[in-house]
Structure 1
Amino acid sequence: MRPLFLGLLFILLLNCSNKNSKPTALIDFAPENAAIIIKTSSFESLKNTISNNDFLQKISESNSYKNLEQSLNTLSLLKSNNDVLVCFSKDTKGNLQYTAITKYDSLLFKTDSIKNYSKETLKYKNKTIVKSSFNNQSTYSTNIDSTFLSSNSKDILESLFNKPTASDELKKMYSTINNNKTCSIIVKTDSLFINQFLPVKQIALNGFTNYIALDVDANQNEIILNGITKATDSLESVINIFKNTIPQENQTQNVTPSNSDGFMSFTFNNFKTFESNLVAFNKRDSTYVSSKLFNDIIEVGVIYEDKETAIVINSIDYIATKDALIGNENIISTYREIDILEFNDPFIFSKTFKPFISFNNANLYCVIDNFFVFAESRELLQNIIANYQNKTTFSERSYFKNIKNHLSDESSLLCVYSPSSLNNIINQNFEESSDYKLGRYNTSALQFIYDNNFAHVNGIIKKSKSTALLNSVSEEWNIKLEADILNEPQFVTNHITKQKEIVVQDINNNLYLISNRGKVLWKKQLRGAVLGDINQIDIYKNGKLQLCFATPYRVYVIDRNGKDVAPFPGKFNDQITQPLSVFDYDKKKNYRLLVTQRRNVLMYDVRAKIVNGFTFKSANGVIISQPKHFRIGSKDYISFKTKDRLYVLDRVGRTRVQPKTNSSYSNQPIFLYNNQFTTTTKAGDLISVNTNGNISLKNLGLSENHSLSTTSKTLVALNENKLTIKSKKSELDFGDYSEPKIFYINDKIYVSITDKQSHKVYLFDSLSKSIANFPVYGNSSITLDNIDRDRNLEFITKGESNSIILYQIN
């Protein structure tokens, strides 16, 4: 029984009746007040399909479903191999009435072995009606000219004995349905059913059109709707506002953020025609004059985000529409190089486009290519701008592209729903508030395409596959700090959750710890700017991690609550000139902290005491690279360089490797590449020193202004706009690029660079192939890692001057 009830409930949700001749077809027996008529050529197949549909299973726990289940109890006994119509209506008290209609068959009901079933025969004007009782529910049935009729209302059944044939309009709609689909539905909208189907609450189905006929094709993970709708030839119905217009390509999805609640788009080929229909529909005075702002538009979109709304107008004449905004040129702010301006006529949209728009607070706007976007808050406009630039709009999402296969590119009216907005539509129809857990239904859609005196209807509710979002890049959050950012944000580990958090510093030297959900956990002012990356150590060897780093005159160790760990910070009179190096030779948490001061390297322990056994005194010049620790075999090596000498020391500061010749070195770091100490010369040659001091030079064709990064086996070089990864070159646009960074995660190598001039973050694999959906917006090098318990990677980068952005690679 349950599968059938799910199907009937589904029909109620969709919301998406005569001449005195003798009834002959099944449709002729439909009750005059029938609001919804379902037709199926295989009743059992319909029940089976519905019972396996994931979406209908999810909504089956609602109170509306449970009430329907109780009302339709006896209908579960129906067994038919012929076409079946199930009609729904409501009486004047709002009680649900249903009627089943099919060709009579002696095997329609097999009740002999059914418990809790009884029946009695009633008489009505020499006609026979059988009253069946099953689980305390009553159903009335009869046969009329070899047609079997069953209803929970005796009054309906009695009315069918003398019912004339169906109206011509209903027959026309009935003739359009397809017998090869799971089922078909005819909806007569002037009924007592609540029928909210658009995100615009003032447009209900009963004021939108008169009839809708839909073919429904359903399987386990999707429900696809195709059909037509028709209204009487007047402007009393919303659908006829599109009369004498030609649908255009919907483009609102190109600017709608994928993290929004969905959007509505309506189009027309000629605004003046559309406007005259609106004037007639709203019964405005014929002298009404619209704004020149809309003269050259072909589409209006409405974006919904939580309780906020944005309005999009799509112009075919950018200059004319821009000119119409003269007088609205006061710039409030600039976001990602796009101006956000004041708009002085926020009522114009509801005044012009009622009933589609009721929003009256659009007092700000921005221009994104040919789209003019109006909203109440800067935050909403900024979110739209960011997602447009990052290509994380609906149009870029694979789940939206998948449903587009079932929709027309051009439509008069298109509504696209996120899981939350779909949930709200269901609740509005069911008059209750439930969470149906529709998270996997990333995008659902309903569209109307106006034709000559009718409109085509398409709709889809589809569950996304788990791989549907593969490689998409989403902006998870974007937070602003109190001042501009000084350095590059990076990830650190929360030793309690084992997840990642973010540390970053602003120009006021405030250090922030931020959760991976974007919450600032604490802020601490430092004495100076952090040099290089922040390390983490377990100073007490108890599993609790502290932040460890240097500023120009301090060495800090800070616990996860933002408190200094005694005896730190260590204070220095002479300037620290390189980032703090932290060594843990034997992985036993016996940390050594190396402080570089121009020519000198000082080694401290975690008690902030000098390690006396470290004998290195002074370099021959200013040290130009951060000291690094390498292990080859069982031996430890400490390496750094000046502009003309490479030092390779042992643990206690004695020379372990003496290069056999000296060179003029670049300012690039030293790496252990192929078990050799590797860096570059000032001339751009790759120079490698083995453990015997032998030197090899390789001409990589690098200019003096280059960058280098390596792992033990992978070498990456950036020279002007040419990126080389393992000898494979990629030519990029000319720009101002950050140094390349290599990440080795889940047995895969990623290489990132950022063009700070064009604000683009690039990510490549080890074969120099760009990762899908890159570049994205960003203004600094990134840190890439898995920061939470899911399988997706995330990265952090600088956004605007005072903001950081967390992205997720899905």
Structure 2
Amino acid sequence: MVFNCTNTKKNRSKLIDFTPKNASIIIKTPNLESLKNSINNNDFLQKISKTDSYKNLENTLGNLTYLKPTSDILICLSKDLKDSLQYSIITKFNSQLFKTDSLPNYIEETLLYKNKTIKKSTLNNNTFYSTIIDSIFFASSSKDHVNAIFNNTAIDPELEKIYNTTNTNKTLSVIVKPDNTFLESFFIEDSLSFKTFSNYIAADVSINQDNILFNGITKAIDSSESLINIFKNTIPQENQTYNITPSNSDGFMSFTFNNYKTFETNLAKFNKKDSIAKTTLFNDIIEVGIIYQGKNNAIVLNSIDVIATKDALLSEQNRIDSYRGVNIFSFGLPLLFSNTFTPLVSFNTANKYCILDNFFVFAGSTAMLQNIIANYQNKTTLNEKVYFQDIKNHLSDASSLMHVVNPASLKTILNKNIKENSSYKLDSYNVSALQFIYETNFAHVNGVIKKSKTRASLNSVSEELNIKLDTDILTDPQFVKNHITKQKEMVVQDINNNLYLISNKGKILWKKQIQGPILGTIEQIDIYKNGRLQLVFATPNRVYVIDRNGNNVAPFPIKFNDKITQPLSVFDYDKNKNYRLLITQGKNLLMYNVRAQIINGFTFKSANNTILHQPKHYRIGSKDYITFKTQSKLYILDRTGKTRITPKTSSSYSNQPIFLYNNNFTTTTLNGDLIAIDSKGNASIKSLSLLEKHYLETTSKTLVVLNENKLSIKNKTIELDYGDYSAPSLFYINDKIYVAITDMQAHKIYLYDSQAKLLPNFPVYGNSSIILDNIDKDRTLEFVTKGESNSIILYQIN
């Protein structure tokens, strides 16, 4: 059965038009499958997945797995009067969206009343209600929410505006509504609650394996009720508190303004104060920072006129100590900062201070000041750390409000919102950051939660990504080119014949089910000759061309009744993108163009027996050669399929391909010989004493042979431990030769240079052949391999 029922009502065009009024959080994703895989592969989310709140959410939304949306989907979260989590799902209806025929333990009931049709469904002990209205599928754990959707009430215009700012290309977008019942605060300071901070927040979220990035906006109505509006009519300044924050601190918060008087007036309105503290100390300040260290805090004033700020402290120059040549003075107004900057500052014991260049630092502890002085002088502040510089790349230099925390503070903030006292293992998240950049009547929001990586030592091999799929992997992973970024991405197929495209950051871009296992490697073509690349490959009964969004390119796939027995050969004879697709079926060859039309000018019809390997194309001078062989005959054809060279020899051939080596067509025989055919058909034979199971690989000048446990590269042979070895892979990158083999039995990958010398720090763990390449903008090489049965690993050679 396919879920299908229709209700008529005045049309509502956008998904946001159907959101429940009491929804606190709205999640939008263009690809539910990609979102699920991103969450499963994200290190941070997996660390918090042990909490009761996370498990409850995961269990509540468990039935989402059975939905197959073809466009955006909204997930709305709310709480009922009993504080129980409720969800609603909104997406465009399609006939394949919710197929219930094969679902075990599925119970369905149709509720009809007052011209409404509602389905009550029970699946895996979870009950939900659903309907279709204006071509929109709406499902919810709350029947009241489904009932309410029939009332075509006006949508909040502010919600619609902020929804329109979200990006359709990100893993997900999140909208947090006013008076939400889930988030309490983003900050260490208990005085800073989300309820009083702003109204709406909308953020696009990128979830990769080792980081979560947020970019969006927050908007509060133009009033003094929301803290974010204290930055109205101010210009964000460059945050510099990190230049003085010790790297061993718990974090810092910095807020900036170009005009203190404007900021002061806004803050007084927010705090509903008529009077403003009479002091000149802040007149030349453009930034106030709070450094957190356990129970101790320090206030940092960043001055643009050090002399004027010193003059404002003339009455506070009682020197009480000195440390490393820096004077420490007493300060008689410890309540000044909390009184002036509440709720941003609650610290009220600042009774001493020191001056470090343009920074005036106030604290309640001499030890705190000494720690700041020592780190500043030793250049061991936060800004000097590689991990902080790494997250700065995702942030703006100038912001109205910036909050940076260490792992302990991040855990505190998490527990404040999740309302659990969980112990997360977040030690590798050295710093996380959140910033707000005020502009006119809204603020930009940026956030980074990123796993810090230790700097790789020279020649080390580091594991960059370990990407887990839902099911076991069928094919060896490989790289393909992203024509937009010019970088490389990964493709792999699982045992359910799902093909995945995965970014080099570990994000699953799409998942597409195809008919049958892919034969050989996937090629790329530019079918429209416009610089955009498509994936092209064969399965046993189809030839596919798929664009980078995972869509079939018409008129492909083309279906074949007879079985395709070798990987698809793709030829571009003159490098002009007039591609030819050569299909092997047993002993027959069929040549097609990219319009899926057979090429009648290719006259070869049938070999004398089954073709043993994928046909290859070579060009020598101006002549084209198509090569393949059967067990008893070697074929060298021209591009029309006519015999170009007739070898003056016959033999029983191995299943290894024919290579162009030293301008000779080279392969091996079952007798263990290396045979080379020149352009006139003359044959030279060299005995290599190869066993029946051997592998051959060449470039134009490099010959590689694996014979049981003996690996020969050029004229050098090395003896390996006995094992079950993959075919050698040969890579020519930056004028260097690399040869890779994998011991499938010992799960070890070996990488050699052209002199048969093992590269440093090899072997490494792996369970398939590798593909080696430079996949990003740095100068290091990466390679991809199969890890566990359901994972792929991306390594980097440093």
Question: Aligning the two structures, in what range does the TM-score lie when normalised by the shorter sequence?
Answer: 0.5 to 0.7
CA shift in 2, pair 1:288/1:234, >3 Å: same
- Give the 3 Å change call, closer, same or farther, for CA 468–268 of structure 1 in structure 2: farther
8 Å CA contact 2:277–2:340 kept in 1: the answer is no
Matches of 1:238 and 1:21, distance apart in 2: 39
Give me the whole-angstrom Cα distance separating, in 1, the residues matched to 2:302 and 2:443: 23
Q: 1:132 aligns with which of 108, 121, 130?
A: 121
Q: Corresponding residue for 1:348?
A: 336
Partners of 1:466 and 1:131 in 2: CA distance: 52
User: Per-residue CA shift, 1:263-293, capped at 9, x if unaligned?
Assistant: 00000000000000111111111x4333111
1:452 maps to 440
SS at match of 1:293: coil
Report if aligned partners of 1:296, 1:321 keep a CA contact under 8 Å in 2: yes
Map of 1:375 onto structure 2? 363
The amino acid of 2:202's aligned partner reads: A
Gaps of 5+ in 2: 1-8, 459-798
User: How far does residue 117 in structure 1 lie from its aligned partner after superposition?
Assistant: 2.3
Matched, 1:299 2:316: no
For residue 240 of structure 1, report the CA deviation from its aligned partner: 0.2
Identical pairs, percent? 61
Tell me, yes or no, if the aligned pair for 1:131 and 1:138 is still in contact at 8 Å. yes
- Structure 2 SS opposite 1:61: coil
Deviation of 1:70 (Å): 2.7
Match of 1:147 in 2: 136
The equivalent of 1:29 in structure 2 is: 18
Pair 1:73-2:72 in alignment: no
- Aligned pairs for 1:391-470 (under 5 A) are 391-467=379-455
Per the normalisation by structure 2, the TM-score is 0.55
The separation in 2 between residues aligned to 1:465 and 1:191, in whole angstroms, is 35
Q: How does 1:83-122 map to 2 (within 5 A)?
A: 83-122=72-111
- For 1:677, the equivalent position in structure 2 comes to none
Match of 1:363 in 2: 351
Query: Matches of 1:451 and 1:342 in 2, distance apart?
Result: 38
CA distance in 2, matches of 1:386, 1:114: 65
Q: Answer yes or no: is 1:205 the counterpart of 2:194.
A: yes
Does the 8 Å contact 1:399/1:442 carry over to 2?
A: yes
* Corresponding letter in the other structure for 2:73: V
Q: Among residues 225, 228, 232, which one is paired with 2:214 in the alignment?
A: 225
Once the two structures are superposed, the pairs formed by residues 261-276 of structure 1 within 5 Å of their partners are 261-276=250-265
Task: Output the CA distance in 2 between the equivalents of 1:76 and 1:259.
Answer: 43
2:309 equivalent to 1:330: no
Q: Following the alignment from structure 1 to structure 2, what is the Cα–Cα distance between the partners of residues 205 and 446? A: 14
Report how far residue 124 of structure 1 moved: 3.8
Partner of 1:170: 159
Secondary structure (helix, strand or coil) at the match of 2:309 reads helix
Q: Which amino acid aligns with 2:395?
A: L
CA drift of 1:469 comes to: 11
Q: Which amino acid aligns with 2:412?
A: N
Q: Deviations over 1:689-720 (max 9, x none)?
A: xxxxxxxxxxxxxxxxxxxxxxxxxxxxxxxx
Structure 1 runs (4+) greater than 4 angstroms displaced: none
Cα distance in 2 between the residues matched to 1:364 and 1:112: 73
Secondary structure (helix, strand or coil) at the match of 1:292 reads: coil
Matched, 1:384 2:384: no
**Matched ranges for 1:667-682 at <5 A:** none
Q: State the distance in 1 between where 2:58 and 2:185 align.
A: 22
Q: Which whole-Å CA distance do the structure 2 matches of 1:259 and 1:56 have between them?
A: 25
Instruction: Tell me by how many angstroms 1:21 deviates.
Output: 7.3
In 2, Cα distance between equivalents of 1:159 and 1:333: 69
Question: What residue identity is the alignment partner of 2:357?
Answer: D
Give yes or no for contact 2:130–2:146 (8 Å, CA) kept in 1. Answer: yes
Q: Which amino acid aligns with 2:446?
A: N
Contact 1:290–1:352 (8 Å) recurs in 2: no
Query: d(CA) in 1 for partners of 2:383 and 2:424?
Result: 25
For 1:81 and 1:273, the matched residues in 2 are separated by 50
Mapped to 1, the partners of 2:102 and 2:350 lie a distance apart of 66
**Tell me, what secondary structure is at the counterpart of 2:315?**
coil
Shift of 1:184: 0.9
- Cα contact 1:399–1:469 (8 A) shared by 2: no
Does the 8 Å CA contact 2:184/2:195 hold for their aligned counterparts? yes
2:307 pairs with 1:319: yes
1:252 matched residue in structure 2 = 241
User: How far did 1:217 drift?
Assistant: 1.2
- The answer (yes or no) to whether the contact 2:10–2:134 under 8 Å persists in 1 is no
Deviation of 1:467 (Å): 1.5
Counterpart amino acid of 1:260? Answer: S
Residue type at the aligned position of 2:351: N
C-alpha distance in 1 between matches for 2:314 and 2:457: 42
8 Å CA contact retained: 1:398, 1:469: no
Q: In structure 2, what residue type is equivalent to 1:394? A: L
Q: Which whole-Å CA distance do the structure 1 matches of 2:195 and 2:439 have between them?
A: 20
1:133-172 deviation line (CA, Å, top 9, x unaligned): 1222111111001100111000011101113242211111
> In the TM superposition, what whole-angstrom CA distance separates every residue of 1:413-469 from its partner, at most 9, and x where no partner exists?
000011111111111001111121111111111100000101111111111112179
CA contact (8 A) 2:60 2:126 kept: yes
Aligned residue in 2 for 1:180:
169
- Match of 2:281, SS? helix
Change (3 A) 1:468 1:233: farther
Quickly say closer, same or farther: Cα 1:76–1:50, change in 2 above 3 A: same
For 2:58 and 2:135, how far apart are their aligned partners in 1? Answer: 28
SS of 1:55's equivalent in the other structure is helix
Task: Work out the number of aligned pairs and report it.
Answer: 450
Q: What value does the CA root-mean-square deviation take over the aligned residues? A: 1.6
Specify whether residues 341 and 21 from structure 1 end up closer, same or farther in structure 2 by C-alpha distance, changes over 3 A only.
Answer: farther
Deviation string 1:154-205 (CA, Å, 9 cap, x unpaired) is 0011101113242211111111111111111111132222421111211111
Residues 78, 108 of structure 1: 8 Å contact kept:
yes
Q: Distance in 1 between matches of 2:171 and 2:398?
A: 26
From 150, 154, 159, give the equivalent of 1:161.
150
State the alpha-carbon separation in 2 of the partners of residues 66 and 49 from structure 1. 17
2: CA distance, partners of 1:124 / 1:219: 46
Whether the aligned pair in 2 keeps the contact of 1:21 and 1:164 (CA below 8 Å) is no
Structure 1 residue matching 2:346: 3-state secondary structure: coil
Is 2:181 aligned against 1:192?
yes
Shift of 1:314: 0.5
TM-score, scaled relative to structure 1: 0.54
Distance in 2 (CA, whole Å) between partners of 1:236 and 1:94 is 26
Q: Distance in 1 between matches of 2:53 and 2:222?
A: 35
Measure, in 1, the Cα distance between the counterparts of 2:224 and 2:338: 18
Alpha-carbon distance in structure 2 between the residues aligned to 1:51 and 1:177: 23
